Amino acid sequence: MSAPDLHQMGVAELAQAIADKKTSSTEATRHLLARAKQHEALGAYLAVNEEVSLAQARAADARIAAGERTPLLGVPIAHKDIFVTRDFPTTAGSKMLAGYRSPFDATVVARLGQQGAVTLGKLNCDEFAMGSGNDNSAFGPARNPWDPARVPGGSSGGSAAVVAARLAPAVTGTDTGGSIRQPAGFCGVTGIKPTYGRCSRYGMVAFASSLDQAGPMARSAADCATLLTAMAGPDIDRDSTSLDHPAEDYGRLLGTAWGEGRDGASAAQPLKGLRIGIPEEWMNWADDAPTTDQRVSGDVTLQVSGALKQLEALGASLRRIRLPRTEMSIPAYYIIAPAEASSNLSRYDGVKFGHRAAKYDDLLDMYKKSRSEAFGAEVQRRIMIGTYVLSHGYYDAYYLKAQQIRRLIAQDFRAAFAECDLIAGPVAPTVAWKIGELADDPVAAYLADIYTLPASLAGLPCMSVPAGLGATSGLPVGLQLVGDYLKEAELLQVAHALQQATDWHTHAPAGY
Amino acid sequence: MSKASPSLLVHGYEVVIGFETHTQLATRSKIFSRAATAFGAEPNTQASAVDLALPGTLPVMNREAVACAIRLGLAVGAHIAERSVFARKNYFYPDLPKGYQISQYEIPVVQGGAVSFYLGDEKKTVRLVRAHLEEDAGKSLHEDFIGQSGIDLNRAGTPLLEIVTEPDIRSSAEAVAYAKELHKIVTWIGICDGNMQEGSFRCDANVSVRKPGAPLGTRREIKNLNSFKFMQQAIDYEVRWQIEQIEDGHAIEQATVLFDPDTGETRAMRTKEDAADYRYFPDPDLPPLVVSRDWVAEVKAAMPELPRAMAERFVQQYALPEYDATTLTQSPAMAAYFEAAAQASGQAKMASNWVMGEVSRRLNNEEKGIADVPVSAAQLAALLQRIADGTVSNNAAKQVMDALWTGEGAEVDAVIETKGLKQVSDSGAIEKIIDEVMAANADMVAQFRAGKDKAFNALVGQAMKASKGKANPQQVNELLRQKLG
């Protein structure tokens, strides 16, 4: 098998080729590491270690030689640098943790490793996952393979870039307010954030504990299902917020008819009976002329509408629903997430690990200097916001109110799922912006999170599926799908049906 | 307890005290991690990744610690909340690895309850506000590090139950009695080893004074009282100091103070102005703690009889004075020892006297606990029976006890026999002795007959001496009186 084909393969294909001994894990790993080096300018990787990766690959090859088979055996993947790893440094994109080495692997990393996946390295991200452009990384920006002058999205920007640029068939990401879905949308790849609690947070550098959730990103829904099946599952001895639900095969509904065919779904119309709700607060859905808010770009409106029509053609019925507190999700999120972050990041004090200022006068000065030197501007901004909203006298007005709104948003979804099986709309109002474009306007970046925040606040499973390239920009647009709690398999089933009928997810940026 | 008893006033002021007690729970592992909790290990050898707050670590509730809280709640008749919440108390300190302490804030697991005890003959009841679970911090070591501080995180994450009272306490003596009773309860139910020196049972006293009937005065909190002796000294000093301040026209400023045993004084560590804003909020890493009624029932089924209930039963069942009952219920082992001896001998009061007297005295001399008592309850019971049936005198019984204690003898009757301690109850033999004594001490006899009662006792003493202590003193008394008639 010739090397160039290896990086074009998805997870399933590559696993099959390795299992069939048409190639080896070692060969695939070597090839993808070389490719990562070749595309260093993307800024996607923060750490690689050829020796470690090749040792893992040889171990996988040995397992294959011994007759073992798993859907991920020998498949090289890479991890967002938010997951702690024993064999690679973990920085969370922050100077604070430069050179930090964890004595243990994150549960998600360990589970993928047990399934035989090989780790290629650690991926760039916004500092402590705070950002939507991957331009808040202390180690420089990751770039969008579709246009290196543009952001790949964030915070899992390096993850999305690597998948789009064919540097790895699949990666891990984390999503707090859209950090898997938005970069997946900006880079034209598929990503899923499962129900809060599906994936263990043990070993994920915490940003906002009540929102953080891990998920896979890949080039197809089917490959995402394979990774999610390996990553998810209860971990109640290490993460108290881990859901105590038995492990699931998230790919079990792929290629099957919706509702097991009860509503007349067939091979031609596999989604017959599926009711898709379009929130009017996200996009105004009228039969012929779908419109969106003026803030939403024409490219996004057109591509998302096209994808919805495609789902309709597959048998789904589209209906208007309401999510009336959509706009309130922005202030609610930007109170709750910074509040939790301000507390979660208190451990970085220069005492035990992480950056400590070289010179200081006393203890307080050591705290101030260490933290001021090592935290970037966006992290400092959120720590300050979070500290403020939790302060005595402000708690009720901000944090408590935001929690109340959060509950109302979850109620809105509950009401909506009484009328539909799945919710669809845009991932983001625009395509990827230029690096630096929003650097001086953090609020504009916050506002752009409007479509991803509601599902995060409600803890619902949601994903981003490629919806083709914008006619004007030539850049990828993502379709967002949101399911009810624990409906990951249904989400993946619908995304897979769409990908069976279209080729949007197969588009590669020029030169990759 | 809200009414001031005039006798408790100090220079016309009423003393008002509330207690906060941190009891270290005797769990095998920490409250949110699986690291061990043993005291005195090498620095930082009992701290796991979770205790060090390494990135990516998360807390997981130790159910053993919750069971301890339930036991305490049951012991003090409190409400055990079906749902309680852990919050984060945010502040920076080098021995606080996460930059926040996980503690129950708005909704604690134990709510209400009361602790009752006797102060002299008066029964006192102190109401509890709450008892909540929280984690301890590490220790900062300021010695041995020139210009720097060392941090030992072994203690970080050790489970604590903080027990908070209403301001029901009215004197330092009451405060100490309350603390002793609470100490007895937590050790009795096995949730705390009670070692005050190692910090397993740390009291903070909130002290204020006021004129009777006036609103509560401003309080100062005396931190970390780790001995009953210092507790009394510290509160007495603090009360005097506050009254002096007020009498001199100064207002009391809310403050946290430390007691210095060397000077016998309290001094302020920080005042209210320095009070940190802890930015409490529910810990998103920990779902609310749910305690099912079944769990409470399970813990209840395994609860021992509590000391106060046992003391009341001793009063009822064995007709003991309150003092005896309270003393005997200092520890489950002592109570069990007494009860076994009382039941086997059928001589409850005598058993009580012996346990509180001879047995305790010998144990104290040898600095031993009741667990190490060399004489079994059955041996003691056999001895008590021999006193009761007149075989030995009380004095001779002490000699038997000596032999049992040292292991010189094991069987009570055999020891009595070997040592010839049997009491003489043969009236003929005793009469003979009395006749001889009267003949030899005619002057005493004359004195007695002249109305000097003291001479009677001297004659009894002579008779006992002549019998080498073996004569039954009661019989000696009776026969002598007859003869002197």
Please give the pLDDT value at position B397.
93
- Residue A221's closest CA among A184, A247, A269? A184
Residues of chain A found within 8 Å of residue B284, distances taken between Cβ atoms = 208-210, 241, 340
What confidence category does residue B6 fall into, taking pLDDT thresholds of 50, 70 and 90?
low
Residues of chain B found within 8 Å of residue A399, distances taken between Cβ atoms = 281
Looking at residues B378-393, what average pLDDT do you find? 93
CA dist B45 to A347, A479, B39, B48, Å? 20, 51, 11, 8
CA distance A309 to chain B (A): 40
Helix (H, G, I), strand (E, B) or coil at B458: helix
Token pair listed for A311: 């789902």
CA distance B94 to chain A (A): 6
Q: Is the model's pLDDT at A4 over the cut of 60?
A: no
Looking at residues A224-250, what average pLDDT do you find? 96
Q: Which of B29, B50, B57, B58 to mutate to test the interface with A (most CBs of A within 10 A)?
A: B58
Which among B60, B88, B98 has the least Cβ separation from residue A237? B60
Please give the pLDDT value at position B5.
56
β pairing state of A76-80 and A118-123: parallel
Token pair listed for B423: 């009491």
Looking at residues B343-369, what average pLDDT do you find? 94
CA distance A203 to chain B (A): 4
What confidence category does residue A286 fall into, taking pLDDT thresholds of 50, 70 and 90?
low
Please give the pLDDT value at position B3.
47
Return d(Cα B132, Cα B319) in angstroms, integer: 38
Put simply, whether B141 touches A (Cβ < 8 Å) is no
- Residue B161's closest CA among B103, B114, B212, B218? B103
What confidence category does residue B454 fall into, taking pLDDT thresholds of 50, 70 and 90?
confident
Contact A206 B90 (CB under 8 A): no
What confidence category does residue A500 fall into, taking pLDDT thresholds of 50, 70 and 90?
very high
Return d(Cα A201, Cα A175) in angstroms, integer: 11
What confidence category does residue B2 fall into, taking pLDDT thresholds of 50, 70 and 90?
very low
Looking at residues B155-171, what average pLDDT do you find? 97
Helix (H, G, I), strand (E, B) or coil at B412: helix
Which among A237, A339, A367 has the least Cβ separation from residue B281? A339
Contact B55 A205 (CB under 8 A): yes
Inter-chain contacts counted by CB atoms under 8 A, chains A and B:
99
What confidence category does residue B423 fall into, taking pLDDT thresholds of 50, 70 and 90?
confident
pLDDT digits 0-9 by tens, B217-257: 999 999 999 899 999 999 999 999 999 999 999 999 999 99
**What does the buried/exposed string (b/e) look like for B352-378 if buried means 16 or more CB atoms within 10 Å of the residue's CB?**
bbbbbebbbebbeeeeeebeebebebe
Looking at residues A272-280, what average pLDDT do you find? 96
Please give the pLDDT value at position B272.
65
Put simply, whether B485 touches A (Cβ < 8 Å) is no
Which among B58, B88, B284 has the least Cβ separation from residue A238? B58
Return d(Cα B415, Cα A292) in angstroms, integer: 104
Contact B55 A206 (CB under 8 A): yes
- Residue A279's closest CA among A453, A402, A70, A88? A453
Picking from A492-506, B275-289, B464-478, which range would have the lowest pLDDT averaged per residue?
Answer: B464-478
pLDDT digits 0-9 by tens, A378-389: 999 999 999 999
Residues of chain B found within 8 Å of residue A91, distances taken between Cβ atoms = none
Q: Is the model's pLDDT at A140 over the cut of 80?
A: yes
Q: What is the mean pLDDT of chain A?
A: 96
CA dist A68 to A14, A112, B18, Å? 16, 15, 67
Token pair listed for B188: 């009795």
Put simply, whether B56 touches A (Cβ < 8 Å) is yes
Return d(Cα A417, Cα A433) in angstroms, integer: 33
Contact A489, A228 (CB under 8 A): no
Put simply, whether B120 touches A (Cβ < 8 Å) is no
- Residue A495's closest CA among A264, A184, A167? A184
Which of the pair, A410 or B390, is modelled with greater confidence? A410
Looking at residues B291-304, what average pLDDT do you find? 97
Which amino acid appears at position A6 of this protein? Answer: L
CA dist A445 to A132, A133, A432, Å? 7, 9, 11
Which residue spans within A85-181 are E strands per DSSP?
A: 118-123, 170-175
Cis previous bond, A155, omega within 30 = yes
CA distance B148 to chain A (A): 10
Q: Is the model's pLDDT at B1 over the cut of 50?
A: no
Q: What is the mean pLDDT of chain B?
A: 92
* 3-state helix, strand and coil shares in percent for chain B, rounded to the nearest 5: 40, 20, 40
Residues of chain B found within 8 Å of residue A339, distances taken between Cβ atoms = 281
Contact B53 A201 (CB under 8 A): no
Return d(Cα B84, Cα A84) in angstroms, integer: 31
pLDDT digits 0-9 by tens, B307-326: 989 999 999 999 999 899 99
Please give the pLDDT value at position B4.
47
- Which residues of A lie inside 8 Å of B (Cβ-Cβ)? 83-84, 90, 92, 97, 100, 102-104, 106, 201-206, 208-210, 236-241, 339-340, 342-343, 345-347, 349, 351-353, 363, 367, 387, 390-392, 395, 399
Token pair listed for A473: 């920009």
CA dist B149 to A195, A362, B90, B94, B95, Å? 45, 11, 21, 9, 10
Put simply, whether B4 touches A (Cβ < 8 Å) is no
CA distance A4 to chain B (A): 37
Contact A179, A215 (CB under 8 A): no
Residues of chain B found within 8 Å of residue A353, distances taken between Cβ atoms = 52, 54-55
Contact A231, A472 (CB under 8 A): no
Helix (H, G, I), strand (E, B) or coil at B75: helix
Q: Could you identify the residue written with the tokens 């004074």?
A: B209
Q: Is the model's pLDDT at B52 over the cut of 50?
A: yes
Residues of chain B found within 8 Å of residue A349, distances taken between Cβ atoms = 92, 94, 99
pLDDT digits 0-9 by tens, A252-268: 999 999 999 898 888 88
Contact B55 A346 (CB under 8 A): no
pLDDT digits 0-9 by tens, B104-146: 999 999 999 999 998 888 889 999 999 999 999 999 888 767 7
- Percent of chain A clearing pLDDT 90 (strictly above): 92
Token pair listed for A56: 């893992």
Which among A102, A237, A346 has the least Cβ separation from residue B90? A346
Return d(Cα A271, Cα A257) in angstroms, integer: 6
Q: Nearest residue on chain A to B102, judged by CA atoms?
A: A343
- Residue B182's closest CA among B131, B233, B120, B146? B131
Report the run of H or E that residue A79 belongs to, with start and end: strand A76-80
Any idea which residues of A carry the catalytic annotation?
Answer: 80, 155, 179
Which amino acid appears at position B121 of this protein? Answer: D
Please give the pLDDT value at position B145.
72
**For helices B377-388 and B332-345, angle between their N-to-C axes, nearest 10 degrees:** 40
Show Cβ contacts of residue B360 under 8 Å, excluding neighbours closer than 6 positions.
none
Which among B100, B281, B287 has the least Cβ separation from residue A241? B287
- Residue A233's closest CA among A82, A80, A108? A108
Please give the pLDDT value at position B442.
87
Which of the pair, B485 or B101, is modelled with greater confidence? B101
Contact B54 A103 (CB under 8 A): yes
Please give the pLDDT value at position B479.
87
Q: Could you identify the residue written with the tokens 């003489």?
A: B424
Looking at residues B165-191, what average pLDDT do you find? 96
Show Cβ contacts of residue B315 under 8 Å, excluding neighbours closer than 6 positions.
B321, B322, B325
Four-CA torsion B115, B119, B120, B122, nearest 10 degrees: -70
Q: How many other C-beta atoms can be found within 10 angstroms of the C-beta atom of residue B293? A: 9
* Most confident of the following: A10-14, B417-421, B465-469: A10-14
Contact B279 A343 (CB under 8 A): yes
B window 284-303, beta carbon within 8 A of A? 284-287
Token pair listed for A136: 């808040």
- Residue A189's closest CA among A11, A28, A424, A434? A11
B window 72-111, beta carbon within 8 A of A? 88, 90, 92, 94, 97-100
Q: What is the DSSP letter of B106?
A: S
Contact A347 B285 (CB under 8 A): no
Contact A347 B98 (CB under 8 A): yes
Contact B56 A84 (CB under 8 A): yes
What confidence category does residue A287 fall into, taking pLDDT thresholds of 50, 70 and 90?
low
- Percent of chain A clearing pLDDT 70 (strictly above): 98
Q: What is the DSSP letter of A397?
A: I
H helices within A262-362, ranges in order?
Answer: 298-313, 329-344
Contact A102 B55 (CB under 8 A): yes
Residues of chain A found within 8 Å of residue B58, distances taken between Cβ atoms = 201-202, 238-241
